[in-house]
Structures are given as C-alpha cells and as structure tokens.
A and B are shown apart, each in its own frame.
Chain A
Amino acid sequence: MLSKKQIAQRISKELQDGFYVNLGIGIPTLVANYVPENINVEFQSENGVLGMGPFPTKENVDADIINAGKQTITTLPGASFFDSELSFGMIRGQHIDLTVLGAMEVSQNGDIANWKIPGKMVKGMGGAMDLVASAENIIVAMMHTNRAGESKLLKQCSLPLTGVGCVKTIVTNLALLTIENGRFLLKETAPDVGVEYIKSVTEGELIVSPNCKTMFI
C-alpha cells in the first residue's frame, strides 16, 4: 500500500518537460516535492501565480504571497503574478497542461465529486469546477476507500458532482487506474497489493489491463 507521499511520487512520474501544472490541496501539493531532476515544469496556483517555489524560511515569509491553499510560499526566478480572472483564463483557455486534484468519489465514466456532502459539509467548489471543466489532462489523487472502508471508485457518484466525464487517471494508495469506455482500467498495482483485493474494494466496473504491472516508485 502506498503512503500519501508515495501517491504523490507516482504522480510525479507523469510530469513532462515543459508542463504547466496546477496542483490541488492535499496529496496533490506533495507532487511538487518529487519533480524529476531532468525536466522543467512550472506550478500554477489559481489565486494568481505561475512559478511557485518551496515554502519560505522564517525570514522570507511574505503575507502577500500565498498559494490557493492559503499557505505562505516563495516564487522561483521567472515567476509571474496575475489576477484571478486571468488565472482562470489560462485554465479555461487550456494553457495549463496537467491538473492534479483530490476527490471524495470518482465514477467509472470519469465523473468527480469533491466539494459538498449535503447537510454535513459545505466548503464550496473553489476553483475545482473550472479546472475539471476545462483541463484536458486530469489526475485524481486519493485513497481508494473512505474512512468507513467503502469504495470511492463507484459506478455512479452519490455526492453532488464537481464535473462530468472529465477524469482520465486515478492514483490511489492501492493502484493506478484509467477511465476507458466507461470502466476503470487497472494498469498498475501498488507493491504487495493483489488484483483480487483491488477488485473487492472497487465498486465500479473494473477491467484488468493485460499489461497490468506492479507500480515502480
């Protein structure tokens, strides 16, 4: 089984040289720690910065420079600041190459739910609906099951949707799957996790790829 850090590490292998990337809050944020050394990528934060750098030292903290998770950040040489409207312009206009975000549920046709539990939790969608509606390349980073042990990979989402038919790839603590023709396709299993176990905790329809292999972290 993968730790949250290892999920991020696996996703980092999907980064390509020259990619502009938006990372959501939670596990996705960790992806920035594992950029392969031989490639250049730039991280966008939808509150208005491209070229996000690491968290600051105590001396370098600036209240005017934060990420979308409201954390203090630094910028790298070549960074730029812009306003929210332009920021979503670059998202809607598909100038961002990859979006990585968390989810509460994903369905086998690529629907995603991550913003609301009716009557219990209403935090809002933030930028997630804009991101999933426009991005060509979306990776979901999440645990395979919820705290009650129930599958988060479903035939149909039970929670209010964030976007429809938009998710392409899912990396969980157990597996890497893609969405193919309305079904989950199992492509990689986490080390020491069996295919049968993954099937047992995947409520949606699951096909095992003939090339299914053990994940390399």
Chain B
Amino acid sequence: MISKKVHSVQEALQGIQSDMTLLVGGFGLCGIPENSIAELVRLDVKELTCVSNNAGVDDFGLGLLLQKHQIKKMISSYVGENHEFERQMLNNEIEVELIPQGTLAERCRSAKVGIPAFFTPAGAGTEVAKGKEVREFKGKQYLLEYAVEADFALVKAWKGDEAGNIIFKGTARNFNQAMCGAAKINVVEVEELVPIGELNPNEIHVPGVFVQRIFQGEKYEKRIEKLTLKE
C-alpha cells in the first residue's frame, strides 16, 4: 500500500507559501483543521486566498489568520459570526467574494472530479449573476459557475489510515469531503491515525487516492460556537 503518512503538521504543510489559494474545510467551527490553521499562523504566510464556508470567529478558526492580516481574499458563503472580518470587509481591508453555499460546495466537488464548470439556479436574477453566463433550461435560468483552483486543501477528518482513507463524524463532514481532492496538494489531519488495514473499506468516506498527506493532529479543542441545550 502507498503510504500518505507524514509525521508532523510542519511536514504536512511543507510548500505552503504566501499568495497561495487554500481550501479550508469546516462549517462554522465544526470540522475545521485546527492544527493546520495554527501552523499557518506560526508560518506567518501572508496574502492568502482562503476558500472556506465561514471565516471562523474573532479568536478561533480562520479568525486567527484574520487577526494577523494573513488573508488577502476570502471566498465564503456566510461570514456573520466574525466581527473583525465584517469590520475588515466594510473598510475594504480585505477582498471578499460571497457565493451561495451550494455553489461553493459544487465548485469544490467539480474541481475534485474533473468537471470544469456547471450550471446552477442559485443566484439567478441577483447580484451574484453579474458577469456570469446565464442559460435557460426548461424555462428556468441557470448560472455558469467554475470549478475552484487551489494550491492546498486543508481537511479535517475523524479517523484515517496511513493509506489516506478517511472517515468523518457527524456534521463535521460538511465541506471537508468535497474539498479533499480539489486542490493540487490535499492535506488531511485526523483525530486518530491507524495503520493500514484497520479501517473497514465499507465505511470509507474519501478514498486515499484523493489525499497526498495525512497526519494525526496533536490536539483538538473543538470549540462550540453556540452551545444550545434543551430547555
């Protein structure tokens, strides 16, 4: 079996430089690649373009990179939870492309599976349609959207094996699955990395062919954004 295992986050992120485009998995703070984000802060790479559904919160997730002005451009669907981000955006300190969430997911999946572009109805007739090719199918308008192009994908999974096969847990799967394989180099961090042969092939969510590097994260805070309990 081909092994994708690397021994540290430093090794996993080798080659990441300023001015690159990164796909970053997660929805809110759920399923974010915490160890890779911490390493990006340490590396102090700048002028990044980050494709991620959200922008983290002020002091966690991608918010850590925003604080240090490491991000030049964000491509997201919803950024409402991060005040620093909203401030930078309204002051034009950061470039922002807001795109519908389903379009974002499909743009990642398309890149992963070799589809250069696709038509979707999301955003037809709105400002999202500006400058885009519009085509009508069966009387309804659709926009032409393109696959993302990225240098690295930073993915978080629950379990993985050294062959790069991974399994997600709960709603922490979100964008991680579509992003894993969509970039030139796809880096997966897992809570538990097991030897080859220990995962059930029937239960793999993403096969190792889409993964270049896999490592076990040192620790996971798994911060909860909105703890909501039964009344």
Q: Do A and B bind each other?
A: yes
Q: Which residue of A lies closest to B177 (CB)?
A: A83
User: Could you tell me if A84 and B174 are in contact, using CB atoms closer than 8 angstroms?
Assistant: yes
Given contacts A49-B171, A72-B229, A130-B122, contact A123 B30 (CB under 8 A): no
User: Could you tell me if A55 and B100 are in contact, using CB atoms closer than 8 angstroms?
Assistant: no
**Interface assignment of A148: CB less than 8 Å from any CB of chain B:** no
Task: Give the docked Cα–Cα distance between A61 and B229 (Å).
Answer: 8
**Interface assignment of B28: CB less than 8 Å from any CB of chain A:** yes
Q: Which residue of A lies closest to B109 (CB)?
A: A85
Which residues of the other chain, B, contact A91 by a CB distance below 8 angstroms? 102
User: Could you tell me if B121 and A134 are in contact, using CB atoms closer than 8 angstroms?
Assistant: yes
A72 interface neighbour in B80, B86, B98, B227, Cβ under 8 Å? B227
User: Could you tell me if A64 and B171 are in contact, using CB atoms closer than 8 angstroms?
Assistant: yes
**Interface assignment of B202: CB less than 8 Å from any CB of chain A:** no
User: Could you tell me if A64 and B90 are in contact, using CB atoms closer than 8 angstroms?
Assistant: no
A88 interface neighbour in B102, B170, B172, Cβ under 8 Å? B102
Task: Give the docked Cα–Cα distance between A65 and B79 (Å).
Answer: 20
User: Could you tell me if A127 and B101 are in contact, using CB atoms closer than 8 angstroms?
Assistant: yes
Q: Which residue of B lies closest to A66 (CB)?
A: B30
Task: Give the docked Cα–Cα distance between A92 and B231 (Å).
Answer: 34
Task: Give the docked Cα–Cα distance between A71 and B171 (Å).
Answer: 12
Interface size on B, residues (CB 8 A): 59
Q: Which residue of A lies closest to B106 (CB)?
A: A85
B73 CB, min distance to chain A CBs, angstroms: 14
Task: Give the docked Cα–Cα distance between A85 and B179 (Å).
Answer: 10
**Interface assignment of B126: CB less than 8 Å from any CB of chain A:** yes
User: Could you tell me if B173 and A48 are in contact, using CB atoms closer than 8 angstroms?
Assistant: yes
Q: Which residue of B lies closest to A75 (CB)?
A: B170
Task: Give the docked Cα–Cα distance between A65 and B173 (Å).
Answer: 10
**Interface assignment of A194: CB less than 8 Å from any CB of chain B:** no
Q: Which residue of B lies closest to A68 (CB)?
A: B27
Q: Which residue of A lies closest to B107 (CB)?
A: A85
User: Could you tell me if B174 and A64 are in contact, using CB atoms closer than 8 angstroms?
Assistant: no
Task: Tell me which residues from 105 to 151 in chain B have a Cβ below 8 Å from any Cβ of chain A.
Answer: 105-106, 108-109, 120-128
B74 CB, min distance to chain A CBs, angstroms: 10
User: Could you tell me if B122 and A129 are in contact, using CB atoms closer than 8 angstroms?
Assistant: yes
A96 CB, min distance to chain B CBs, angstroms: 12
User: Could you tell me if A54 and B173 are in contact, using CB atoms closer than 8 angstroms?
Assistant: no
**Interface assignment of A57: CB less than 8 Å from any CB of chain B:** yes
User: Could you tell me if A127 and B77 are in contact, using CB atoms closer than 8 angstroms?
Assistant: yes
User: Could you tell me if B172 and A133 are in contact, using CB atoms closer than 8 angstroms?
Assistant: no
Which residues of the other chain, B, contact A130 by a CB distance below 8 angstroms? 100-103, 120, 122
B31 interface neighbour in A46, A64, A125, A126, Cβ under 8 Å? A64
User: Could you tell me if B106 and A88 are in contact, using CB atoms closer than 8 angstroms?
Assistant: yes
Task: Give the docked Cα–Cα distance between A82 and B105 (Å).
Answer: 12
A interface residue numbers (CB < 8 A to B): 45-49, 54-58, 61-73, 81-85, 87-88, 91-92, 119, 122-130, 133-134, 160-165
Q: List 29 A-B contacts (CB under 8 A).
A: A47-B171, A55-B228, A55-B229, A56-B229, A57-B230, A63-B222, A66-B171, A66-B226, A71-B227, A81-B170, A81-B171, A83-B173, A84-B175, A88-B101, A92-B122, A122-B98, A124-B78, A124-B80, A125-B98, A125-B123, A127-B101, A129-B100, A129-B122, A129-B126, A130-B100, A130-B103, A130-B120, A133-B123, A161-B127
